[in-house]
Amino acid sequence: MALTGIQIFKMLPGTNCKKCGAATCLAFAMNLASGKAELDACPDVSEESREKLSAASAPPIRPLTIGYGDTAIKIGGETVLFRHEKTFFNPTGIAALINDSESDADIAAKVKRYQKMQYSRVGLNLRPELVVVKGGARLADAAKAVVANSDLSVILYSEDPAALKAAAEALAGKNPLIGPATKANCAEVAAVAKEAKAPVWLKAASMDEVAELTKALTAAGLKDIVIDSGARTVKEVFTDSVAIRRAALGGNRDYGFPTIAFPAEITDNLAMQTAIASALIAKYAGVVVLGDLDGAMVFPLLLERLNIFTDPQRPMTMVQDIYPINNPGENSPVLVTTNFSLTYFIVSSEVEGSRVPCWLLIKDSEGLSVMTAWAAGKFSGDDVGQFVKKIGIEEKIKHKSVVIPGYAASISGDMEEELPGWNITIGPREAAHLTKFLKDYKTA
């Protein structure tokens, strides 16, 4: 559990020497408590206090990285149960399960397809990152087929330590997640993970066994651990997901690790797996494993993940730019609005739906919607007028007409002054009325 500034202060030397840069030890303690300072800045803290403080300041859920290159994914590190309480930091990894009984050619074809599932949205590239390779005899070969034919990162799934060892060696430098460590093979799998310097996952038969296994793996010197409680029904997998998060945030170190869940092993039906994954992305899974990937499953889950893991304190924004919609030409209407991503999405989807070719100008308004941006002076007439001049739309069109949002109607006068000769039209207040508006609107 996090310590308060006062609790930390009691463990500091109390000399007020200022060597850390803070005026007093109390001020330094307060900075430590709020994460603004590092303990190393204090030259005189005792070894005993240092140990206590670093244990207490460790995050309640261990953050760790699986994989390599573009698909390396950080999981864990979460601090709250509800995203509105702060934010969810590290998006759930999305994985496909491949059996090593499949031929190398089939595996190659699958992972090539998975790698092409990449979607760009609000300046981000959304994609599934992981493949779970399950089996024994052919584990290393199948894992090699994955990395030889794609850039996807790998999770190894075999209860045979020898197979894991061979596969981990084949994936040297690719930081695979190795496991499962179970009650039967814990010591051997721990040794493989340790040698490979790779994160390890455990598969338990009960929530009690989860604690036994995390204790054993920790005692073996491993820190990067991922938990599979072993639940394989819709109800239990959800319950365990909530239980582990709550226990971890409550300070129970035995459960302070990210989780992996297997919709793929709950049902063969891919549509139901998608529904299960949806619940687990919203509620706490570090990785969800699906039986196969198709765009129809992956795309909705990636959108959900993007939404759920968006920081509520920082609205998503669009880059200030000219956005062509429906292949506009030199006589197409020009619309201007703010860079709040929700505003952009709603406006652009209505314009797309109208099938009228348009130029959509997105002006940086610090992520505020039209009404708030206008009220906060981030969407004033001068400002928007200058923006229209500078953004370079004049080179793309043969008219001088621009449509402003209905909620910013009052800026039209100032805009006219800023843009002499331009025809400023006040558009509808609601994006939903754009289709009708565009049907009648003519540029001048």
Which residues of this chain interact with other proteins, rule CB under 8 A? 82-84, 113, 116-119, 121, 206-208, 210-211, 233-236, 238-239, 242-243, 246-247, 250, 266-267, 269-272, 274-276, 278-279, 281-283, 292, 294-301, 303-304, 306-308, 310, 312, 341-342, 345-346, 349, 352-353, 433, 436
Non-local CB neighbours of 125 within 8 Å, separated by 6+ positions: 118, 119
- Closer CB to other proteins, 246 or 398, in the complex: 246
CB 182 to other proteins: min, Å: 18
The Cβ of residue 414 has, within 10 Å, a number of other Cβ atoms equal to 16
- Closer CB to other proteins, 15 or 326, in the complex: 326
CB 286 to other proteins: min, Å: 17
- Closer CB to other proteins, 22 or 276, in the complex: 276
Q: Round to whole Å and give the CA distance between 37 and 31.
A: 5
Question: How much is the CA Rg of the chain, to the nearest whole Å?
Answer: 27
The Cβ of residue 42 has, within 10 Å, a number of other Cβ atoms equal to 23
- What are the E-state strand segments in 235-341? 260-261, 287-290, 321-325, 334-338
- Closer CB to other proteins, 304 or 414, in the complex: 304
DSSP assignment of 356-418, as one string? --EEEEEE--TT--HHHHHHTTSS-HHHHHHHHHHTTGGGT-SS-EEEE-GGGGGGHHHHHHH
Bridge partners for 317 per DSSP: 340
CB 301 to other proteins: min, Å: 6
Q: Which of 171, 174, 188, 247 is nearest to 222 (CA)?
A: 188
CB 219 to other proteins: min, Å: 19
CB 37 to other proteins: min, Å: 31
- Closer CB to other proteins, 163 or 403, in the complex: 403
- What are the E-state strand segments in 69-196? 73-75, 93-99, 119-121, 124-126, 130-134, 153-157, 178-181
CB 168 to other proteins: min, Å: 30
- Matching residue, tokens 């200030």: 320
Q: How far is Cα of residue 238 from the mean position of the Cα atoms in its chain?
A: 20
- Closer CB to other proteins, 395 or 440, in the complex: 440
- Closer CB to other proteins, 193 or 335, in the complex: 335
CB 271 to other proteins: min, Å: 5
* Residue 75 three-state SS: strand
Q: Round to whole Å and give the CA distance between 133 and 153.
A: 10
- Closer CB to other proteins, 10 or 355, in the complex: 355
CB 320 to other proteins: min, Å: 20
- Closer CB to other proteins, 344 or 422, in the complex: 344
CB 167 to other proteins: min, Å: 26
Q: Decide the pairing of beta strands 225-228 and 260-261.
A: unpaired
Task: Tell me how far CA of residue 120 lies from CA of 11, 92, 112, 150, 302, in angstroms.
Answer: 49, 18, 18, 19, 11
DSSP assignment of 103-122, as one string? -HHHHHHHHHHHHT--EEET
Non-local CB neighbours of 325 within 8 Å, separated by 6+ positions: 348, 351, 352, 357, 358, 359, 360
Q: What number of H helices and E strands is found in the chain?
A: 16, 17
CB 246 to other proteins: min, Å: 4
